Amino acid sequence: MTRPIGLRALAFAASSLLAATLAGGVAAAAEPEPSDWPAVLEAAKGQNVYFHAWGGSQAANDYIAWVGSQTEARFGVTLTHVKLADTADAVATVVAEKAADRDSGGAVDLVWINGENFASMKQQGLLHTPGFATHLPNWRFVDTANPSVTVDFTVPTDGQESPWGGAKLVFFADTARTGDVAAMPASADALLAWAKANPGRFTYPAPPDFTGSSFLKQVLIETIGDPAVLQRPVDEATFAAVTAPLWAWLDEIQPALWRQGRDFPKSYPQMKQMLADGELGIIFAFNPAEASAAIASGELPDTVRSFVFSGGTLGNTHFVAIPFNAANKAGAMVVADFLLSPEAQLRKENPTVWGDPTVLAMDKLTPDERAAFAAVDRGVATLPPAELGPVLAEPDASWMTRIETEWRARYGS
């Protein structure tokens, strides 16, 4: 996403008390180490955390607003949601600040980050000291047996980002128009055949939209000769040959897409509205509870049902991270910790709120907390965990950067 501009050495031991300046110019308290949590809480009081997060989901926006109400009431930490169209915008801000030697008082305190941008920020030394996440008090509840919690797009997290939700690619259709989901495509090739038989009824958001790029990764994994190669960085010498099956698949489906592939939705919300209007027959999201959440909010009819491919679909964990020069690191850590609390995770998993899967391990919770999670009504369109199928691992982040560039050259015009 961004071009490396050189590494910055971050000395954790020397940064236990950092003087920072708020983005608005107000002096902030010194930032303690996360291992000294009482000092973090004290330093966080009165801070305004600028949380740069995707703003394309009303459910997510409302949830973040609730989080802010809780952190302000409980810890004296204000949360300002800076709504992004693309996480790369926040990364670009931090890159520009580093280039200008702005080592404190940065505009971005906390960022909802994906693996592609995490890899870029980590490589460039743009993240807060390693280990902050694993020192958060609520880290003790995290399902660390899930490899995607500690490795993001093949890159070790090293505690530089804190998990706050799970994700898995699911497809869904309005059964009132398409019939039983049992007859829906069970693979990328079957989806290609369905699209040809139902021209104009399928499409995907244009990359670099996250949902659209995720769909390309799903097809890539299914069509590539050896998926294991995706766990290593892109080799330009073999890129064309390795990705040839992906481009052949996309070329073949192009005439059968909505508007014959001459245009693409800009985002998942636009695609969701097209399903609600009957314009599309199948869409997809990176959240197993998305269809149920959309039904609960009145965005989709209650005849929508979810399905997955039998061979598995893409899955990962999403995170929040703190830039190296954040003005309000203590407040950002308090917010990140609250996002990991059983209370916050339980609320987020409710499809009437958001429906985002938890990152907590049930066996680390109290009996009452486990019972509360078990009692969540995940909605009529949410597949039980046992029916979500295998999880396909995310490729190395370099693949998506390269594929998005190639996609734009082939289809972006």
Query: Which CATH number fits the domain that encloses residue 262?
Result: 3.40.190.10
Q: CA–CA separation, 11 vs 344, rounded Å?
A: 32
- Return the pLDDT at 351: 84
For residue 100, tell me if it sits in a domain. Answer: yes
Would you call 158 helix, strand, or coil by DSSP?
coil
List CB contacts of 43: < 8 A, sequence separation 6 or more.
29, 30, 31, 32, 330
pLDDT confidence of residue 276: 97
Lowest mean pLDDT among 19-33, 55-69, 103-117, 324-338: 19-33
Q: How far apart are CA 263 and CA 241, in angstroms?
A: 27
183 and 151 in a common domain? no
Please tell me the predicted confidence (pLDDT) of residue 352.
86
pLDDT score for 144: 92
DSSP 23: T
According to DSSP H, which parts of 265-322 are helical?
A: 268-276, 290-296
Instruction: For the chain, give the percent of residues with pLDDT over 90.
Output: 77
354 versus 280: the higher-pLDDT residue is: 280
Q: Looking at residue 322, what is its pLDDT?
A: 97
Q: How much is the average pLDDT of 84-107?
A: 95
Q: Is residue 332 part of a domain?
A: yes
Structure tokens at 35: 């291992």
Q: Which residue has the tokens 């049992």?
A: 182
* Cα atoms found within 13 Å of the Cα of residue 216, Cβ hemisphere only: 26
Q: Distance between CA atoms of 241 and 214, rounded to whole angstroms? A: 21
What is the mean pLDDT of the segment spanning 317-331?
A: 96
**Domain co-membership, 337 together with 377:** yes
* Residue 43 lies inside a defined structural domain of this protein: yes
**Residue type (1 letter), 179:** G
Q: Residue 131: is its pLDDT beyond 90?
A: no
Strand segments, DSSP code E, in 85-226 are: 110-113, 151-152, 155-156, 161-168, 170-174
For residues 172 and 214, state if they share a domain: yes
pLDDT per residue over 359-409, tens digit each?
999 999 999 999 999 999 989 999 988 798 898 989 998 999 899 999 999
Q: Domain for residue 72, yes or no?
A: yes
pLDDT tens-digit series, residues 15-63? 322 333 334 333 344 567 888 999 999 999 999 999 999 998 888 999 9
Confidence at residue 413, expressed as pLDDT on a 0 to 100 scale: 66
Number of structural domains found in the chain: 2
Do 256 and 175 fall into the same domain? yes
Same domain for 98 and 29?
A: yes
Q: Rounded distance, CA 192 to CA 174, Å?
A: 18
Contact at 8 Å (CB) between 384 and 306?
no
Q: Is 5 inside any structural domain?
A: no
Q: How confident is the model at residue 8 (pLDDT cuts 50, 70, 90)?
A: very low
Residue 361 lies in a domain: yes
Paired strand residues for 88: none
- What does the alpha-carbon distance between residue 324 and residue 103 come to, in Å, rounded to a whole number? 7
Q: Which of 213, 227, 204, 199 is nearest to 395 (CA)?
A: 227
- Reference 23, options 45, 43, 2, 51; nearest CA is 51
Mean pLDDT across the chain, nearest whole number? Answer: 90
Element (H, E) at 117: helix 115-123
Mean pLDDT for 94-121 is 94
Q: Looking at the structure, do residues 400 and 268 belong to the same domain, yes or no?
A: yes
With respect to residue 404, please indicate whether it lies within any of the assigned structural domains: yes
Tell me, yes or no, whether 156 and 20 share the same domain.
yes
Of the listed ranges 123-127, 180-184, 353-357, the one predicted with least confidence: 353-357
Task: Please check whether residue 298 lies inside any domain of the structure.
Answer: yes
Residues 252 and 361 grouped into a single domain: no
Mean pLDDT of 134-159: 93
Q: Which structural domain, as residue segments, surrounds residue 26?
A: 14-166+316-385
pLDDT tens column, 256-274: 999 999 999 999 999 999 9
| Residue 368 shares a structural domain with residue 403 | no
In this prediction the pTM is 0.78
pLDDT value, residue 22: 36
Are 238 and 328 contained in the same domain? no
Q: Are residues 117 and 73 in the same domain?
A: yes
pLDDT at 146: 87
Same domain for 400 and 265, yes or no, is yes
Q: How far apart are CA 223 and CA 11, in angstroms?
A: 44
Q: Is the pLDDT of residue 80 over 60?
A: yes
